[in-house]
Amino acid sequence: MAAEPQQYTQRLVVLGAAGVGKSAIVAQFLFETFTEKYKKTVEELYCTEYDVYETKVRLDILDTSGSFEFPAMRKLSITNANAYLLVYAIDNPQSFEEIKSIRQEIIDIRGEAGIAKLPVVVVGNKCDLEEKRQVPKEDAELVVELAWQHVFLESSAKERTNVVNIFKQLLHQAHIPCHLSPALRRRRASLPVTPSANGHLPPGGKDEVKPSMRRHNTRRRSSCKVQ
């Protein structure tokens, strides 16, 4: 009788200020799509499963709001996560300051020991806007890598620079090594992007928004290679 395949589940929460490109990074990773049009997110959950040889990997990606309109939802997201992607924009120094506040919020909820054991990647997005840079890369590296002891990367969701590497780093920290092959990326590209009726603010503004979460489920066999 064949042995049951190993199963891994990773719940990743994406946090950062509004407009830094959190949703764009997720869309590029899952679907290889990018749009210039900004849509404000309340909360979007993407559930993706991969078969990696004899291992089943489920990756839940929770794309959170950049505002603080729903603190209870935010606290619940942080509490239930077992990995964090913290995103700021290199052309927005205030967004880097917000990353510091968000990290402290995680520590307040999970504790210093808790965050030390969890996968965390800090990303400076929009590195294609080098001429508009206001957060020096060296300064961010000093804070993130030396002071916080987290993985630091810069990315461009627009140009897909380092997008796949972000998620590879998170999986590696979670002890789920997986080579994301071109074949897997092509499968992601074939998936339709479903607009969220509840996950974005409607044209009328924030007063019309109710705290809600849209769930996107995908499943496919991956050609990942375990390293």
Which whole number is the average pLDDT over 168-177? 85
| Number of neighbours of residue 69 by Cβ within 10 angstroms | 14
1: in domain: no
Length of the chain measured in residues: 227
pTM for this predicted structure: 0.78
226: in domain: no
Domain range for 124 is 6-221
Phi, psi of 89 (to 5 degrees): -110, 135
Cα 60 from Cα 47, distance rounded (Å): 4
168: in domain: yes
pLDDT of 227 reads 35
Query: Looking at residue 47, which CATH number applies to its domain?
Result: 3.40.50.300
**214-221 vs 43-52, strand pairing mode:** parallel
Domain count for the chain: 1
Whether the predicted pLDDT of 189 surpasses 50: no
Per-residue pLDDT band at 215 (split at 50, 70, 90) = low
> What pLDDT digit, counting tens, does each position of 84-108 carry?
999 999 999 999 999 999 999 999 9
Per-residue pLDDT band at 217 (split at 50, 70, 90) = low
pLDDT of 66 reads 80
pLDDT of 219 reads 46
Residue % of the chain over a pLDDT of 70: 71
55: in domain: yes
* Long-range Cβ contact pairs of 204-213 (< 8 A, separation 24 or more): 206/67, 206/69, 209/42, 209/69, 211/42, 211/43, 211/70, 211/72, 211/73, 212/42, 212/43, 213/42, 213/43, 213/44, 213/45, 213/73
227: in domain: no
> What pLDDT digit, counting tens, does each position of 43-65 carry?
889 988 877 667 788 889 999 98
89: in domain: yes
pLDDT of 190 reads 35
Mean pLDDT over the full length of the chain = 79
107: in domain: yes
68: in domain: yes
Our separate counts of H helices and E strands in the chain read 7, 7
